Structure 1
Amino acid sequence: MIRHIVFFTARSEDDRDTVLSGLSLLTRIPHASLLEIGINNKVDQLGNQVDFVVYGEFEDEAALAAYKAHPIYQESIDRVRPVREMRLAADYDVERAAKRPL
């Protein structure tokens, strides 16, 4: 399974609704096992720069690639990119993730 996590910050407070509605389009793409769009609660004592989080789970790399190739993905980019400040993304394979015993 691949976990896909992307952090976004809107350019201004006025752009937050546009970013959220653009990211929400992603939930209509059928290739994810799970896809959530979250609004950061901003309660971390060390940093609260992130406004939104996209969290997705995909069966494999092919499913993630199909998600990113879907036309709705590009529509989301077209809406969000002009009004976002920051975007940080990470994808990792759960089976290959470093695991430590508690």
Structure 2
Amino acid sequence: MSDRTFIRHVVLFSAKDKADIGRIREGLSMLADIPHSSLFEVVENSRVDAFSGEIDVVVYAEFKDDAALQAYKADPIYQQAIDLVRPLRDKRIAADF
């Protein structure tokens, strides 16, 4: 077990149309303007793992605690990003640990 005192938030996205990957990345990058994370990244999958190429974009963020994560999700920018990205994405898989 880890004695880490922060929450890692990882969200994986696949695009319905690969031509929209850039738009998905740009829409998710809006989330960087939300001030509650201590680290925030949006990157395209480098596809180094030959067995798992279905993920196109990854969001990685760190939050000091659950309250910070919940404040991030409650920010109006979060909903704006969802509204922009949801029609373009196929899969969305999230994990918090």
Question: TM above 0.5, one fold?
Answer: yes
- Equivalence for 1:55: 60
Q: Which has the larger radius of gyration?
A: 1
Q: In the alignment, is residue 5 of structure 1 matched against residue 2 of structure 2?
A: no
Unmatched segments (≥5 aa) in structure 2: 1-5
Q: In the alignment, is residue 74 of structure 1 matched against residue 79 of structure 2?
A: yes
Cα distance, 1:61 vs. partner?
0.1
Give identity over the alignment, percent: 52
Runs in 1 of length 4+ with deviation above 3 angstroms?
A: none
Q: In the alignment, is residue 26 of structure 1 matched against residue 31 of structure 2?
A: yes
Cα distance, 1:52 vs. partner?
0.6
Q: Deviations over 1:8-34 (max 9, x none)?
A: 011112211221111010111000000
Cα distance, 1:64 vs. partner?
0.1
The number of residue pairs the alignment matches comes to 92
Residue 58 of structure 1 aligns to which amino acid in structure 2? F
Residue 12 of structure 1 aligns to which amino acid in structure 2? D
Residue 64 of structure 1 aligns to which amino acid in structure 2? L
TM-score by length of 1: 0.87
TM-score by length of 2: 0.92
